[in-house]
Chain A
Amino acid sequence: MLFHLAGSCVAVLPDARYGLDRRAWADARVERELAVWADRVGMTPSAFQDRLYELAVGYEGARSAALAPFEAYFRVSGVSQNWSMFAAGTVESDRFGLRARRCEDCPWEWLYVHADDDHAWSRAVLGHPRVRSAIFRWSWPSHAGRYERGCRALAERVASADADVVAVECSFERSTLPSPSRPDVPAPAWGRARVVQTRTVAR
């Protein structure tokens, strides 16, 4: 019991491995946060990022060493203590959308836009918390590969429901949320589109 408790107390320390992927640091949401902290500690953003990376590597090494004696126990018991939930509120936010077309020159038709009652194709599936959770991760640069593969899986799902569809597009709508200090914000814009030709998807 004390072993469980001791291991859990070590495991609750934040896991910095995902943060060490510096591709994610290029995202506007992370850039903004890093700039705030760089300003607070009086460093240039790039110097701050390098210093932070060094610190994070050292911290992660120490954390992994402390966790090593408990790893086998955690693997068997399934116990984990990684509670990374809403670590930051970001000015920019993303909304997922899916559209399809029936010929090369046909217009795109929206099938699904998250939280949009007018475009709710397969909402019970795409809106399920577990599927949403996966899609939410795709919006980050470090998950680009998964986004590609996930979009292919969605295209296959669309194609199997409607044989006339020739292409499916996944994209994210980037919005900037207003606040009292920034009441006027740019209009939302769709981007990061991935197009999958459904005829090339194995059915």
Chain B
Amino acid sequence: MSGASEASPGRWARLTGLLVGEEDALGLALVRLLACATVAAHVGRFAATGAARFALLHRDRGGMSDAHGWLEPLGGAEPWMITLLCVVTCLAAILGAVGLFTRAALVVTWLGLRVISSLNPEAHGSYDGLLVDTLFILMLSGAGRALSLDAWRSGAPALAARWPRVLLVAQLGLLYLGSGLHKGSSGWVPGGDASALWYILQQPTWSRLGALPLALYPLTQVATTLVWFFEVLAPLFVVAVWLRESAPRGRALAALRRGLEGVRFVEVYLAFGLAMHVGIEAMMEVGPFCFASLALYPAALAPARLRAWLERAAGWWRAVGARRQGESS
């Protein structure tokens, strides 16, 4: 008993060691940039097409909504309110993306998106929830301390608390796990006919491609099973990120870490997710969900690793540019 109580603080400190402390804000900043750009593009298009006025106005005022949502105290939405709401949300998201008055911009974007979602509970997608969840964490974080006009103006060291990035990794894991837990139909669960994607990809409401040739059926079966495993393995992905960035002392955890690092689990997981989202975006029209999901990916890499990757990518880009210039001259 006494041994356990003596060991507890050490274990607790190790468990929470990943959450405390500060680090380079690059990962958070990339999430901020991608999430805000996604909101700006989506809300901007929603307003510009006129779809916002139809979808969000109450049917008493020529729209299709049954609800007044957060605008009920004002007597419900008027057309000009919808336009103003979208413009303000879009502008705030642009400010959030470029990092000018970042925290205030993130708060307004988060609020704007919540008001928009409240005005018609039918006209929403999972991207609303994901973006609100992401913005809520970002607005409490130091996401504006890198890749931002605020950081450029202040010239201060770009350090931010680490816990928001850890929460964003958990959010990514919860997103995929939650999606996997819902996929309990016979077409998804291994052991069935693995037909789910065959039918989903041809759903007229969402499909970009229309009818698929029957020859592709086996390919969609493989993809169905892979996607299902990808989603239900999300907790292991979160554990892999946690183990990579901490120093587990237990033998079992250390062995698990070696195993996961040996197969580069985090990179393989992210690469599969990237391919899956690009595939979904190419074949289906599901709103900004793919971009909202991919916005979280930079959080899964420790800033030092992320910076090294970006520098390598920039070096490769410069080399390609130099080679092209050499060829043309």
- Which residues of A approach B to under 8 Å, CB–CB? 1, 4-5, 8-9, 12-14, 33, 36-37, 40, 77-91, 93-96, 114-115, 124-125, 128-137, 146, 149-150, 152-154, 156-157, 160, 173, 175, 177-181, 183
Cα A1 to Cα B170 in complex, Å, equals 11
Interface string of B156-171 (1 = CB under 8 A from A): 0000000100010011
**Binding-face segment, B51-59, B98-106, B316-324:** B51-59
- Specify which of B45, B171, B203, B224 is in contact with A8 (CB 8 Å cutoff): B171
Residue from the set A1, A33, A157, A173 with the largest chain B CB neighbour count within 10 Å: A1
Report B-chain residues with C-beta under 8 Å of the C-beta of A88: 183, 185, 187-188, 196
User: Are A149 and B66 neighbours in the complex by a CB distance under 8 Å?
Assistant: yes
User: Are B170 and A133 neighbours in the complex by a CB distance under 8 Å?
Assistant: no
User: Are A86 and B129 neighbours in the complex by a CB distance under 8 Å?
Assistant: no
Cα A152 to Cα B58 in complex, Å, equals 12
Cα A69 to Cα B153 in complex, Å, equals 42
Residue from the set A132, A178, A181 with the largest chain B CB neighbour count within 10 Å: A132
Cα A49 to Cα B214 in complex, Å, equals 33
- Specify which of B54, B196, B285, B286 is in contact with A89 (CB 8 Å cutoff): B196
Q: Which of B55-84 contact A (CB under 8 A)?
A: 55, 59, 62-64, 66
User: Are B126 and A85 neighbours in the complex by a CB distance under 8 Å?
Assistant: yes
User: Are B204 and A114 neighbours in the complex by a CB distance under 8 Å?
Assistant: yes
Given A133-B125, A146-B122, A149-B66, CB of A14 within 8 Å of CB of B178: yes
User: Are A135 and B205 neighbours in the complex by a CB distance under 8 Å?
Assistant: yes
B259 an interface residue at 8 Å Cβ cutoff? no
- Specify which of B122, B188, B287 is in contact with A137 (CB 8 Å cutoff): B122
B154 an interface residue at 8 Å Cβ cutoff? no
Cα A178 to Cα B287 in complex, Å, equals 27
User: Are A89 and B187 neighbours in the complex by a CB distance under 8 Å?
Assistant: yes
Report B-chain residues with C-beta under 8 Å of the C-beta of A90: 199
- Which residues of B approach A to under 8 Å, CB–CB? 19, 45-46, 49-51, 54-55, 59, 62-64, 66, 110, 114, 120, 122-126, 129, 132-133, 136, 163, 167, 170-171, 174-179, 181-188, 192-193, 195-200, 202-207, 210, 214, 217, 224, 285-289
Residue from the set A89, A91, A115, A178 with the largest chain B CB neighbour count within 10 Å: A89
User: Are A175 and B204 neighbours in the complex by a CB distance under 8 Å?
Assistant: yes
Report A-chain residues with C-beta under 8 Å of the C-beta of B49: 124-125, 128
Closest B residue to A175 by CB, please name it.
B204
User: Are B19 and A1 neighbours in the complex by a CB distance under 8 Å?
Assistant: yes
User: Are B167 and A177 neighbours in the complex by a CB distance under 8 Å?
Assistant: no
User: Are A83 and B178 neighbours in the complex by a CB distance under 8 Å?
Assistant: yes
Closest A residue to B161 by CB, please name it.
A1
User: Are A179 and B198 neighbours in the complex by a CB distance under 8 Å?
Assistant: yes
Cα A14 to Cα B180 in complex, Å, equals 10
- Across the A-B interface, give the 6 residue pairs with the lowest CB-CB distance, nearest first: A89-B199, A129-B287, A83-B178, A88-B185, A128-B51, A89-B196
Closest B residue to A156 by CB, please name it.
B62
Cα A82 to Cα B178 in complex, Å, equals 7
Q: How many inter-chain contacts with C-beta < 8 Å in the A-B complex? A: 182
Query: What are 10 sample pairs from A and B whose C-beta atoms fall under 8 A apart?
Result: A1-B19, A8-B174, A12-B177, A129-B125, A133-B124, A136-B205, A146-B66, A156-B62, A157-B62, A177-B199
- Specify which of B129, B177, B182, B207 is in contact with A115 (CB 8 Å cutoff): B207
Cα A109 to Cα B210 in complex, Å, equals 24
Cα A79 to Cα B174 in complex, Å, equals 12
Report B-chain residues with C-beta under 8 Å of the C-beta of A177: 198-199, 202
User: Are B175 and A83 neighbours in the complex by a CB distance under 8 Å?
Assistant: yes
Cα A5 to Cα B173 in complex, Å, equals 11
Cα A170 to Cα B100 in complex, Å, equals 46
User: Are B59 and A78 neighbours in the complex by a CB distance under 8 Å?
Assistant: no
Given A130-B46, A133-B125, CB of A89 within 8 Å of CB of B51: no
User: Are B205 and A96 neighbours in the complex by a CB distance under 8 Å?
Assistant: yes
Report A-chain residues with C-beta under 8 Å of the C-beta of B200: 86, 89
Closest A residue to B208 by CB, please name it.
A115
- Specify which of B19, B133, B176, B186 is in contact with A33 (CB 8 Å cutoff): B186
- Specify which of A1, A14, A84, A93 is in contact with B202 (CB 8 Å cutoff): A93
User: Are B203 and A128 neighbours in the complex by a CB distance under 8 Å?
Assistant: no
User: Are A78 and B182 neighbours in the complex by a CB distance under 8 Å?
Assistant: no
Given A131-B55, A180-B214, CB of A85 within 8 Å of CB of B182: yes
User: Are A183 and B66 neighbours in the complex by a CB distance under 8 Å?
Assistant: no
CB distance from A92 to the nearest CB of B (A): 9
Closest B residue to A40 by CB, please name it.
B186
Report B-chain residues with C-beta under 8 Å of the C-beta of A181: 193
Cα A150 to Cα B202 in complex, Å, equals 25
